[in-house]
Structure 1
Amino acid sequence: METGVTSAHSTREGSAPEVLAVFLRLGLTCFGGPIAHLGYFRREFVERRHWLDDETFTDLVGLCQFLPGPASSQVGYSIGLLRAGWLGGLAAWCGFTLPSVLLLLSFAAIAPSLGGLVGGGLIHGLKLVAVAVVAQAVWDMARRLCPDQRRAAIALIAIGVLSILTTVYAQLIVIALGAVLGLAFCQTTTSSDASRVPRHTLEIRVSRTVGAVALILFCVLLFGLPALVRLHAGQALEVFNAFYRSGALVFGGGHVVLPLLQQQTVEAGLVSSNDFLAGYGAAQAVPGPLFTFAAFLGWTMTEAPNHWTGALLATVGIFLPGLLLVLAALPYWQALRDLPSMAALLAGVNAAVVGLLATALYSPVWTSAVLSELDFAIAAIGFFLLTRWKIPPLAVVALCALAGVAEVTLR
């Protein structure tokens, strides 16, 4: 059957159930964030199963890190697409995503019953986990994405602009500003970086017709949904639009979705700040992509659609733009990635994203969680356990949650 997808590295055509089984196991065991997920993928699909070779895998990773969206989910979807066509891509996404979604929905369902000192302490401990995890993300991303003075300056400018602007478009303005500054000041930096990176040829081909349709659909939803929301088309469409825009504008990894989701949910009055940070902390304890935090938010929204309907709208909304962009970019990736102007633009955007996440570290994460010297100590210990001792995030979540319970109980 013609699917518009071909590959030179698939040793035999696979099936959607085969893809689902493999990705379901990965969805239950992949802890540690997107970089760790990509390590699991390489070991499983390049070294063990030989579904694709190292060069093709490297190019897939490069493409998905270039695009907005959840990189590990986009790579997984692409591998499923390569192995078993459209049903394989859907099976890969479902297998990798659903375990995390169901675990977070379970927590969302029992969270309202977590009353008393123990429940309050647990929620507070999860908020302190969020401080440690976001601080680690800022630290790691600053070292990786701002390695020189020019990109560090763009990050600082982003922080300054965000501290002044109060418009709901502040984050979009900062990302656009980062792109302009990157084009203006990062051309020579990115060209020297690129000269040290080996180039491979992407051996997965999606037809240009498929790519064009995916890009058109991405743009229609990105610009058409806000217009429909302004026409009061319904609360369900407004929820879908909020999560779709968050997924479409996330550069730099899963943690960067935090400020976008906070703006779309907490500031819009859909989710309380306490629930938001508690869910974000819980999301660190489950395997799979961090974007499944959206399912928790969809469930806990104060107004309908919430629970199952809200979780479905939020999950599909936040993942859909990233998957559409993968399909849109595959036919053109080889040419795009070699343009110095494109690399410079992306360098500026990534530097601005560091400033965006650093601002979110202060508000709402720090201001909502660190209320005393002991809170600061717990968050600092969690940060150093993650960054210096490389303790698994799941263990840090457990330690901070217990510390939160102990703190509230002993007051």
Structure 2
Amino acid sequence: MTKTDEAVSSARAAGALEVFSIFLKLGLTCFGGPIAHLGYFREEFVARRKWLDEQAYADLVALCQFLPGPASSQTGFAIGLMRAGYAGALAAWAGFTLPSAMALVLFAFGASALGGPVGTGLVHGLKLVAVAIVAQAVWGMARSLCPDRERASIAAVAALILLFSTSALAQIGAIVLGGVAGLWLCRAEQTNGAGHIAMPVSRASGFVFLAAFIILLAGLPILAHVAPSSGIALFEAFYRSGALVFGGGHVVLPLLREAVVGPGWVSDDVFLTGYGAAQAVPGPLFTFAAYLGAVMKGSLGGIAGAAVALIGIFLPGILILLAALPFWDNFRKRLTAQAMMRGVNAAVVGILGAALYDPVWTSSVQGPRDFAIALTGFVLLVAWRAPPLVVVVFSAVAGIAAAML
């Protein structure tokens, strides 16, 4: 290695450490969900550090919202990539993700010790948090993604599909149907995106990442069938869930429920308790996967299960982002691509609406008292703009009080 190469390598290492320290701070303080995370990122990297300008940031956010996966984590990954190459991208992901993942794994280990009226009330209060949070997500997404009768109809059909069949195939079918309907019904509007994103990813590399995304998505189910293994089955379930999430972190709820509750790995009660707890920690909602991996029944659970689940759910979003970066400028200007994604996003609203009813509502709201707690949480979120952490504390305290009464 020449001195020049050593200097470049040292500069990249220093850049990756800088990226990790900044994103670690964000991972410890970013409460409020993906939209709030994007606001934190803009303040940190556009306004304060000036790593990129407003147009480049808006363009990057548009790409990450267009693709499947967790938009805020993908945006952070891309900013790390721009700053310090692939090492910087991994540093950004690790710094932003690990704090909440570790907190949820600790909660998973301690949740089984909860007992008596206090423990029962706390767990039930966390389940009611899920009702308020998902209702807020459905309300907000419906207003922005289903503003006309065409997209509202696509959402309604998708919800009906999921209400009558909660299988993974039904969810995939609803998304595909939404895309086809979008091509037919949602071509009236066209967005002319301006700006350009410069990324250190070549077109050849983009094709390699796309091939990896498709091979894993199609090949993991076959591998899990041919060579049965709890580790492969777990990784496949979370990879599939991460690959099919459009429209925000809350949409992963029905996908993950089908992936882990359906096979009997996790009960509905444990699932919703963890989902409620995930609202109390900073960072991306996808770290809920670490909790699920830790509480998994069978031979794979604990730290190993959490690691497999966490990597599995984030990997597809990262691969598809790296695949899209070299081609985004041309693809995003196509009318057909825009129309298809409008239909897909509308279908996603319907899928999340169906999940609000089953399992969130049916497993949590058992009477007027539960409804009152969930309704209060929803009003706090929507009308009073309260942070999710406030709603978590309120619902937990209310759940404990209700159980003791």
2:337 to 342, 350, 353: 342
Equivalent position of 2:111 in the other structure: 111
Contact map agreement 2:167 2:258 (CA 8 A) in 1: no
Q: C-alpha distance in 2, partners of 1:29/1:209?
A: 37
Aligned residue pairs, count: 395
Contact map agreement 2:183 2:340 (CA 8 A) in 1: yes
Contact map agreement 1:295 1:311 (CA 8 A) in 2: yes
Structure 1 residues 332-374: Cα deviation after superposition (integer angstroms, max 9, x where no partner): 0000100000000000000000000000000000000000100
Structure 1 residues 59-106: Cα deviation after superposition (integer angstroms, max 9, x where no partner): 110110000000000000001011111110000000000000011011
Q: C-alpha distance in 2, partners of 1:351/1:262?
A: 21
Equivalent position of 1:98 in the other structure: 98
Please give the residue correspondences for 1:6-405 in structure 2 after superposition, counting only pairs within 5 Å: 15-165=15-165, 167-188=167-188, 190-191=189-190, 194=191, 199-405=194-400
User: How many Å apart are 1:210 and its aligned residue?
Assistant: 1.2
Amino acid across the alignment from 1:217: A
Equivalent position of 1:9 in the other structure: none
Q: C-alpha distance in 2, partners of 1:317/1:354?
A: 24
Contact map agreement 1:17 1:91 (CA 8 A) in 2: yes
Contact map agreement 2:81 2:199 (CA 8 A) in 1: no
Q: Secondary structure at the match of 2:281?
A: coil
Q: C-alpha distance in 2, partners of 1:166/1:241?
A: 18
Comparing 357-366 with 157-166, greater Cα deviation is found at: 157-166
Cα distance change, pair 326–168 in 1 and its aligned pair in 2 (3 A): closer
Contact map agreement 1:369 1:375 (CA 8 A) in 2: yes
Give the TM-score, by structure 2 length. Answer: 0.96
Contact map agreement 2:28 2:99 (CA 8 A) in 1: yes
User: How many Å apart are 1:167 and its aligned residue?
Assistant: 4.2
Amino acid across the alignment from 2:275: Y
Q: C-alpha distance in 2, partners of 1:165/1:120?
A: 31
Amino acid across the alignment from 1:286: V
Q: C-alpha distance in 2, partners of 1:203/1:406?
A: 54
Structure 1 residues 175-229: Cα deviation after superposition (integer angstroms, max 9, x where no partner): 00000100011011x32xx25xx52222335201111111111111000000011
Comparing 158-167 with 379-388, greater Cα deviation is found at: 158-167
Give the TM-score, by structure 1 length. Answer: 0.94
The ranges of structure 1 where at least 4 consecutive aligned residues each deviate by more than 6 angstroms after the TM superposition are none
Equivalent position of 2:5 in the other structure: none
Structure 1 residues 139-158: Cα deviation after superposition (integer angstroms, max 9, x where no partner): 00000100111100100111
Q: Secondary structure at the match of 2:112?
A: helix
User: How many Å apart are 1:54 and its aligned residue?
Assistant: 1.4
Gaps of 5+ in 2: 2-10
Gaps of 5+ in 1: 2-11
